[in-house]
Structure 1
Amino acid sequence: MELEVRHLRALCAIADTGSLHRAARQLGVAQPSLSTQLRRIEQELGGALFVRARTGCRPTPLGRLVLSRARPLVTELRSLVTEARAAAVGGRQLRIGSTASRALAGWLRRLRRHWQEPTLHMDVSANALLRMVADGQLDVAFVHEVEGCPLRIPESLRTRVLIEREPQCVSLPADHPAAARPVVHLSELAGDRWMIDPAVDGEWDAVRRVLRAAGISPRVLHGDYHTAASLVATGEAVTVCQPTSPSRPETAVRRLYGDPLGVRLLLAARTDSELEGVYPDLADAYREVARQAPAYREWLEDLVPPGPRPPAPPFDGSRQTPMSLPSARYTATTDGRT
């Protein structure tokens, strides 16, 4: 057996996800098939590359050595494919649609290495962006799907999931009693006003469902998330926010106990080649902002077992082709939800 690029990709996927199951989902193969492939690779190289345990897979010293050489090769191949695809379409301008995400800046910065200046169209409505891709007005759309409120994905689109379930946090005033702890129980927010943007597909339904399940009949303010930020800062409201959102002197971002709210982050395009041309840069940009968010980083550290592990959160699944981070389990019209 000779090692091929697909074998190197498999090893990187196992290391990045910390799990054979999640790596198989990322690669779009059956777990038994991936396990068999890993055994053959280990036989070829003469030693175990991962320590398997109930908590997941961790690279052995030999595994870390192999990964240190495999990762640059896989990255270079991705860059080659991306640049070739961009050249094949004559360096045309890439039209991106997105709901709000702190990963956007890093994604655009990376895309500029291979494309002409991308255009960006932002919207709070993921469904609206997906329709624009299907109609040819956008090339790709990066959107979030609120748990329990499925998006209406046109049949003509291909999708790839970046994060199967990103837990949503709460933004509250820095002097709120609950802000003194890293994890907030919903019962501690029973007396607060909640600021919700009803234009975000499915979000109000999901928040209302979660609060009612906790026995809370919320007082609600409807508005955009730019306004929400100022209201939270002045103590007028609390609001849902992404785990990558930064805390500020006047506000605090905290995890919700039990992670009752989640969203799925996905990329949509009309063809697989369009997806693959921009997906790696998006994944890298997301890892970057996830590492910079204390609340999210602590959540990820709680999930990932001690020992060597990938420097990023989990990415998972896909309607067509999935990817996953270690089980760390996201124009210009603007969506201010950051």
Structure 2
Amino acid sequence: MLRPVELEVRHLRALCAIADTGSVRKAARQLGMSQPALTTQLRRIENAIGGELFARERTGSRLTPLGRSVLGRARSIVAEMNALTAEAREAAGQGTASGTRLWIGSTTSRAVPGWLRRLRLRFPDADTTIRTDASPNTLLRMVAEHQLDVAFVHEVAGVPLRFPEGVELRVLIAREPQFVVVPDSHPAARAPVVRLADLAGDQWMVDPSVDGELTGLRRILAAAGLNPKVVYGDYLMAADLVAAGEVVTPCQPTARARPGTAVRPLEGDPLTVRLLLVCRAGAGAPAGIEGVFTDLAAAYREIAWASDAYRRWLARHDGPLPLFQMPERVPVPLLV
């Protein structure tokens, strides 16, 4: 039975965030609030509905049957509210890159600062803001729900993202190799290219909140016949632990080596990602989307050639970068 507490759109957004991220901790980080505050809010929501929406488990939060039922309604309400807000902003002259705002999202990438700089020059009258998130799937849903105009995300090979209905992809890089960061005292640091077998005795660290990265890493290790210990942590902490000689960790090819570390490619490039720019399809795409893609490509090219390890890899693989080609547009019809 419903209690006197009434649900608001912010409560529904919180439910969606917990379901999307799989844990209250990650959802709190995404929503910009503390974990205890979100836990308290979830209890109030469950009290108002009259039942448990998530089963708390050691690995995170799993939807209950009641939770799945409520979430289906919550998503449609949040999407409608986001669309209403976007339409109202557009009616007020605040809706496109050629107007006064451009909302972009991105997973972690060193290309983002250069992208933002170019976008501000291209759209000097736009209020350009950015939302970063470790989860590509979260950013995709935000695009579909009109919370973002575009998102720059990566998809780990063999671990497909969940593309919502009505979004369109532009492929920046079809197959970007992922490198590895090792202590500069590690024997592998003396080689230009590292074999996975050379790291068989090392402890790996990966951020499990980044969609697909844990699964992708375990897949390539298993394919190489290796079963090293894998521990969890964010990549900022991982860099410090690599320098201390405690772990090795996968990284983007554009990563800069910090003191005490070395960035090296893996032999055969077993771990790769696809880099994508995502926006709403058809008439829902923001004005000037081709320019947005062009600026992202230029920013990525700039940082790629400025990265020592990646520049050497590109030279060995007969550059130029794939992004010199025309962007491939891929409509995505259904959520998978």
1:326-337 map, 5 Å: none
Which aligned pairs between 1:225-304 and structure 2 lie closer than 5 A?
225-271=235-281, 274=286, 275-304=289-318
Q: Does structure 1 residue 93 correspond to structure 2 residue 101?
A: yes
Q: Gaps (5+ residues) in structure 1? A: 1-85, 305-309, 322-338
Alpha-carbon deviation of 1:319?
Answer: 4.5
- Aligned CA RMSD, in angstroms, stands at 1.9
Distance 1:230 1:318 in 2: 38
Deviation of the 1:155 alpha carbon: 2.2
- Alignment check: 8 A CA contact 2:95 2:101 kept: no
- Tell whether 2:117 aligns with 1:109: yes
Please give the alpha-carbon distance, in whole angstroms, between the structure 1 residues aligned to 2:315 and 2:220. Answer: 25
- Distance (whole Å) between structure 2 residues aligned to residue 151 and residue 159 of structure 1: 12
What is the CA deviation profile of residues 92-132 of structure 1, one whole-angstrom value per residue up to 9, with x for unaligned ones?
21111100001001000000113334111111110110000
8 Å CA contact 2:96–2:102 kept in 1: the answer is no
Q: 1:165 Cα deviation (Å)?
A: 0.3
Task: Output one character per residue of 1:48-88: Cα deviation in whole Å (capped at 9) or x when no partner.
Answer: xxxxxxxxxxxxxxxxxxxxxxxxxxxxxxxxxxxxxx997
Q: How many residues of Structure 1 are paired with residues of Structure 2 in the alignment? A: 230
- Which residue of structure 1 aligns with residue 162 of structure 2? 152
Q: Distance in 2 between matches of 1:182 and 1:117?
A: 44
* SS state at 1:253 partner: strand
Out of 161, 168, 173, the residue aligned to residue 178 of structure 2 is 168
Tell me, yes or no, if structure 1 residue 143 matches structure 2 residue 153. yes
* Structure 1 Cα separation of the partners of residues 95 and 109 of structure 2: 28
What is the alpha-carbon distance in structure 1 between the residues aligned to residue 231 and residue 256 of structure 2? 22
Using the alignment, how far apart are the partners of 2:186 and 2:192 within structure 1?
Answer: 12
SS in structure 2 opposite 1:247?
coil
- The answer for the alignment partner of 2:25 in structure 1 is none
Question: For residues 195 and 281 of structure 1, what CA distance do their matches in structure 2 show?
Answer: 33
When residues 90 and 109 of structure 1 are mapped into structure 2, their CA distance, relative to the original with a 3 A threshold, is: closer
2:89 maps to none
Match status 1:181 vs 2:195: no
**In structure 2, do the counterparts of structure 1 residues 191 and 108 end up closer, same or farther at CA, with 3 Å as the change threshold?**
same
Higher RCO structure (Cα 8 Å, ≥6 apart): 1
Residue 256 of structure 1 aligns to a residue whose secondary structure is: coil
TM-score for the superposition, normalised by structure 1: 0.65
Q: Which amino acid aligns with 2:146?
A: G
Q: Distance in 1 between matches of 2:159 and 2:330?
A: 19
Aligned CA distance change for structure 1 residues 161 and 127 (closer, same or farther; 3 Å): same
Structure 2 residues not aligned, in runs of 5+: 1-93, 332-336
Q: Give deviations 1:266-299, integer Å, cap 9, x for gaps.
A: 0001146533130000000000001011211111
Counterpart of 1:105, as a letter, is P
SS of the residue 2:109 aligns to: coil
Distance 1:298 1:94 in 2: 35
What's the TM-score, normalizing by structure 2?
Answer: 0.65
> Is residue 173–residue 274 contact of structure 2 (8 Å, CA) maintained in 1?
yes
* Displacement of 1:154: 1.3
CA shift for structure 1 position 249:
2.7
